[in-house]
Homo-oligomer: A and B are copies of this chain.
């Protein structure tokens, strides 16, 4: 029961922050959507809204980590990995009527200058993604430098395509960008065999 309430607050925060933004979300809304009293919010999250956001980022990061490793395990080709990842983002946007973009990127972009703890949490997640993608690219033969560069490029392109898709209310930016990213990664890997 207690952990249900905790989870409901995290769910509420994640949804509100990624859709309407961090600053626009009040504690009152967290309590309403979380369906528990204000005292309960501060019981589970003494740091209030910021703590909900921080733990929401960590939880989302953990889920994406599992998803990313699953996609890595499923697709030997790095181009297919990229296509799967962009397709998942497109599905999430379509299913939420273009409301649910990246829960890390949307939040971190808004508060990057004003909330150091949230920005640092976002930075850690992006860095972790870059490292994981770079590790995979090294496994298939790229140099450390090239792997790092392409991993950063892939993560940046995904985040930007999600932003365009939300703002343009269309999955085309994800389809178009995903295809080019996939081709670029495949070409880099095939060049290592030259």
Q: Are A166 and B109 in contact (CB under 8 A)?
A: yes
Q: In this complex, what residue of B is CB-closest to A111?
A: B21
A-side interface residues toward B, CB under 8 Å?
19-24, 98-99, 101, 105-106, 108-114, 119, 122-123, 126-127, 148-150, 152-153, 155-164, 166-169, 172-173, 176-177, 179-181, 184, 187
Choice from B126, B160, B161 contacting A167 with Cβ under 8 Å:
B126
Point out the residues of chain B lying under 8 angstroms from A155, CB to CB: 160, 164
Instruction: Report the bound CA distance from A162 to B157 in whole Å.
Output: 10
Copies per complex of this chain:
2
Q: Residue among A122, A167, A180 with the most chain B CB within 10 A?
A: A167
Q: Are A163 and B110 in contact (CB under 8 A)?
A: no
Q: In this complex, what residue of B is CB-closest to A100?
A: B113
Tell me whether A113 and B161 are in contact in the complex, defined as CB-CB below 8 angstroms, given that A153-B177, A176-B148 are known contacts: no
Q: Residue among A149, A155, A176 with the most chain B CB within 10 A?
A: A176
Point out the residues of chain B lying under 8 angstroms from A179, CB to CB: 149
Q: Are A163 and B159 in contact (CB under 8 A)?
A: yes
Instruction: Report the bound CA distance from A162 to B109 in whole Å.
Output: 9
Point out the residues of chain B lying under 8 angstroms from A19, CB to CB: 113-114
Instruction: Report the bound CA distance from A162 to B152 in whole Å.
Output: 12
With A126-B167, A159-B159, A160-B163 known, 9 other A-B pairs at CB within 8 A are A19-B114, A108-B163, A109-B166, A119-B169, A150-B180, A152-B164, A152-B173, A156-B177, A160-B160
Instruction: Report the bound CA distance from A119 to B169 in whole Å.
Output: 9
Q: In this complex, what residue of B is CB-closest to A148?
A: B176
Q: Are B167 and A108 in contact (CB under 8 A)?
A: yes
Q: Are B177 and A114 in contact (CB under 8 A)?
A: no
Q: Are A113 and B157 in contact (CB under 8 A)?
A: no
Contacts A/B (CB < 8 Å), 26 sampled: A20-B114, A21-B22, A21-B23, A21-B111, A99-B113, A101-B109, A105-B109, A105-B163, A106-B109, A106-B110, A108-B163, A108-B167, A112-B167, A113-B166, A119-B169, A148-B176, A150-B180, A152-B177, A153-B181, A156-B176, A156-B177, A159-B159, A159-B160, A160-B161, A163-B163, A180-B184
